[in-house]
């Protein structure tokens, strides 16, 4: 498909509005040739639309290629992208392509998107951006971004947005949550031990020489309360015995990689709603990072339906702004390291 095709004729220049007006004039008794002359539409084309011999009478369509989404859906998608960016929850190209696929599937719209990758194609992406006056911005490398992006300007922008959200909904401390994921490795780095001077190697019995990662999803609120965690084990199927000794009401899931993804994040949101009883009448806010698994269409719509406000930290700043990183996960891993 040619992305920068230039038209070589003026076919269909009259547009949908004139076509609709001409069809209305025909229904009121105007002759076909008169309507063709007044509105600048070829009589054969006007006749086919009048007699409903086209797939969508009254709508001017050129060629076999059609837009996947209607104008209303594209506008909603554009507004959603802008709203996500305003909340520092911006989408990259893959996020948008996944979102378009999910939207087409949920709305049961026929589409040419790839069902194996579950993403829209690059051709659709660039045409959508062009139609909706959107553009791509090239980000810097992570190492330089950590130095340059975390500055007073970015920090002030985040806290101004955060303050406006808090004031608009009057959130109390027990309704302000911070959520984050971390990995717990079953084989941890041994702690230092006392030995004779000159000893070059010290051994210690561990459960395994190479461990596996178990993802731990945690959330705490500003009043000190916590949500029972979700554990993601690197397995094909979940076994109940893996949750022995876990905090009450904790949730266990299985994933081959042991890492979180969009489906497991959606399950965590369901766990959050069940535990907190959040609703549109009693809203809560969750502060988290901009990980791609947090941006699925299903998760965003679920949050809106259940009164959950989402706000993300600026890119490459969580190592200094994420409360769980600063105050909890280091202690958790140190304690876990000693106990394993």
Every domain of the chain and the residues it spans: 1-66, 71-131, 170-190+209-339
What does the pLDDT look like over 210-220, one tens digit per residue?
567 889 899 99
What does the pLDDT look like over 32-73, one tens digit per residue?
889 888 888 888 988 988 888 887 788 777 666 678 888 888
Q: What are phi and psi of 40, to 5 degrees?
A: 70, 30
How remote is the C-alpha of 127 from its chain's centroid? 21
What does the pLDDT look like over 256-305, one tens digit per residue?
888 888 899 999 999 999 999 999 999 999 999 888 888 888 888 899 99
Calculate the CA dihedral of residues 101, 107, 108, 110 and round it to 10 degrees: -60
CATH superfamily, region 170-190+209-339: Ribonuclease H-like superfamily/Ribonuclease H (3.30.420.10)
pLDDT at 206 over 60: no
Q: Which residues contact 295 (CB under 8 A, 6 or more apart)?
A: 84, 89, 91, 95, 99, 262
The CA distances from residue 15 to 31, 211, 289, in Å, are 20, 64, 45
The reported pLDDT for the residue numbered 5 is: 65
How many other C-beta atoms can be found within 10 angstroms of the C-beta atom of residue 334? 12
């Amino acid at each position: 498909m040619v992305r920068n095709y230039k038209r070589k004729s003026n076919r269909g220049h009259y547009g949908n509005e004139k076509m609709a007006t001409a069809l209305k004039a025909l229904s009121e008794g105007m002759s076909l040739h008169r309507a063709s002359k007044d509105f600048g539409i070829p009589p054969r084309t006007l006749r086919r639309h009048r007699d409903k011999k086209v797939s969508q009478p009254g709508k001017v369509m050129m060629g076999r290629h059609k837009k996947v989404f209607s104008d209303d859906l594209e506008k909603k998608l554009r507004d959603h992208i802008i709203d996500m960016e305003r909340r520092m929850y911006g989408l990259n190209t893959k996020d948008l392509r996944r979102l378009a696929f999910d939207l087409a599937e949920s709305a049961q719209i026929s589409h040419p998107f790839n069902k194996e990758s579950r993403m829209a194609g690059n051709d659709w992406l660039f045409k959508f951006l062009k139609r909706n006056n959107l553009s791509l911005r090239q980000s810097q490398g992570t190492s330089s971004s950590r130095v340059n992006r975390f500055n007073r300007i970015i920090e002030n922008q985040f806290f101004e947005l955060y303050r406006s959200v808090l004031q608009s909904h009057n959130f109390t401390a027990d309704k302000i949550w911070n959520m984050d994921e971390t990995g717990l490795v079953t084989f941890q780095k041994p702690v230092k031990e006392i030995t004779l001077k000159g000893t070059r190697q010290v051994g210690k019995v561990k459960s395994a020489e190479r461990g596996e990662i178990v993802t731990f999803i945690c959330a705490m609120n500003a009043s000190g309360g916590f949500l029972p965690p979700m554990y993601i084990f690197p397995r094909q199927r979940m076994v109940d015995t893996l949750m022995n000794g876990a905090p009450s009401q904790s949730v266990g899931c299985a994933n081959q990689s042991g890492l979180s993804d969009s489906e497991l994040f959606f399950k965590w949101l369901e766990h959050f709603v069940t535990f907190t009883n959040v609703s549109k009448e009693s809203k809560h806010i969750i502060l988290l990072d901009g990980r791609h698994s947090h941006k699925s269409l299903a998760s965003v719509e679920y949050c809106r339906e259940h009164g959950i406000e989402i706000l993300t930290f600026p890119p490459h700043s969580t190592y200094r702004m994420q409360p769980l990183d600063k105050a909890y996960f280091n202690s958790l891993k140190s304690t876990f390291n000693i106990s394993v």
